[in-house]
Amino acid sequence: MERAVPLAVPLGQAEVFQALQRLHMTIFSQSVSPCGKFLAAGNNYGQIAVFSLSAALSSEAKEESKKPVVTFQAHDGPVYSMVSTDRHLLSAGDGEVKAWLWVEMLKKPPYRTSLEVPEINALLLIPKENSLLLAGGDCQLHVMDLETGTFTRALRGHTDYIHCLALRERSPEVLSGGEDGAVRLWDLRNSKEVQTIEVYKHEECSRPHNGRWIGCLATDSDWMVCGGGPALTLWHLRSSTPTTIFPMRAPQKHVTFYQDLILSAGQGCCVNQWQLSGELKAQVPGSSPGLLSLSLNQQPTAPECKVLTAAGNSCRVDVFTNLGYRAFSLSF
C-alpha cells in the first residue's frame, strides 16, 4: 500500500487562508502563567497561542515580540475557557478539558478527560480543595479532583446554559450565572444551593429587549456585580439587594473588581471603568469591535509584567500597561 502524501498548498493560497482566519477570529479566553511572564489566549478555531509578556513589554521589544512564541491546536472546536494552576494550563472546549504543562507546553497532557456537555463555558479553580469547577451546556456545575482527573460531584439547579462562575474566597461558596437569568450561590461543603437571585425579575435591572441571560459576574466579599441581558448591577449578597445600576446600554460579557473600581467589557471596543457609586470614570478604547474577556496579571513574581489584557472579536489581544490607554496589541 502506498503511503498517503498530503497535498501541498501553494504559498499564496496558504497566506490568503491565514489572513481569512485572522479576519474571522474570536478570542474567547485568556490565562496568565504561574510566573506571570506569559499569556495564553484561546480562539474559535481551537488554537492556543502563548505570548511572552516580558518580551513584549521590554524596552527593546520589536514587532516580532508581539507574536506568539508558540501556537498549537488544542481542541477541535472553540477554546471557551482557560485557567492556570501552579504547573498546568487547563483549557476547555466542547465537552473536553485538557491539561498542558506550562514548562513543556507541546508535550502530551499528563491527563485529560471528557464530559457529555455541549460546551464548557467556564472554568474555576478551587485552590483549597485542589479541584476544578466546570460549567456549560448541561446546566450543571461539575467538580473535578485535580489530583486524579475524576469528577466527584455535580451541582444541579440551573435550567439553561451556564455562562460564568465566581469564587467567594473567604468562604467555601461559588456563584454561577446563566441563560435562565438566575445567579445561584452554592455551598461547596454540602454541594447545596443556598441562595438564588433572579436578576431579571427586579424592575430596575430588567431589560426585556436584551433577554434575561447572565453573561458575567464577579464577587468581592459580600458584594457581587453581574450583567448580561439585564443591566450591569452591583448587589449586596446578604440582603439580595441591588445597590447600584450602571448606566451601560450594551450587554456586558466580562466584569471584574479592581481596587476601588469595577472593570467591564462587552459589545463595543472599550474597557469601561466604573466607580462603585455608578459613575463612569473612563472608557478606554481597544482594537477589537467587541470584547469577551479581560485578564489582570497581578502575579507578585513578575511585577514588571503587571498589565490588563483584553480580547474578543478579532485576532488581537490588547495590552494596557495602565488603565488609561492601550499600549500595544499582541496578535495571533
Count the Cβ atoms, other than its own, within 10 Å of residue 255: 27
329 CB neighbour count, 10 Å cutoff: 19
How would you list the strands of the sheet with 192-198, edge to edge? 162-168, 173-178, 182-187, 192-198
Could you tell me the fold of the domain covering 115-245? Methylamine Dehydrogenase; Chain H (2.130.10)
Q: What is the pLDDT of residues 129-172, one digit of tens each?
A: 899 999 999 999 999 999 888 889 999 999 999 999 999 987 88
Rounded Cα gap, residues 311 and 254, in angstroms: 11
The one-letter amino acid code at 201 reads K
pTM of the model: 0.88
Q: Domain map of the chain by residue range?
A: 115-245
Would you say residue 5 has pLDDT above 70?
no
* pLDDT band at 115; cut points 50, 70, 90: low
Mean pLDDT of the residues in the chain: 91
Residue 10 has pLDDT above 70, yes or no: no
Give the tens place of pLDDT for each residue, 174-209.
999 999 999 999 999 999 999 999 999 999 999 999
279, with CB counted inside 10 A (0-12, 13-18, 19+), is: exposed
Residue 12 has pLDDT above 80, yes or no: no
pLDDT over threshold 50, residue 4 = no
Q: What is the pLDDT of residue 113?
A: 56
How many angstroms separate the CA atoms of 292 and 110, rounded?
Answer: 29
Neighbours of 290 (CB within 10 A): 16
| Count of CB atoms situated within 10 Å of the CB of 96 | 18
DSSP E strand boundaries for 130-251: 131-136, 140-145, 150-156, 162-168, 173-178, 182-187, 192-198, 214-220, 223-228, 233-236, 241-245
Task: For the chain, give the percent of residues with pLDDT over 70.
Answer: 92
Distance, in Å, from the CA atom of 119 to the CA atom of 20, rounded to the nearest integer, reads 25
Distance of CA 43 to the CA centre of its chain: 11
Residue 118 has pLDDT above 80, yes or no: no
Cell digits of residue 313: 472579536
Q: Please state the rounded mean pLDDT for residues 240-249.
A: 96
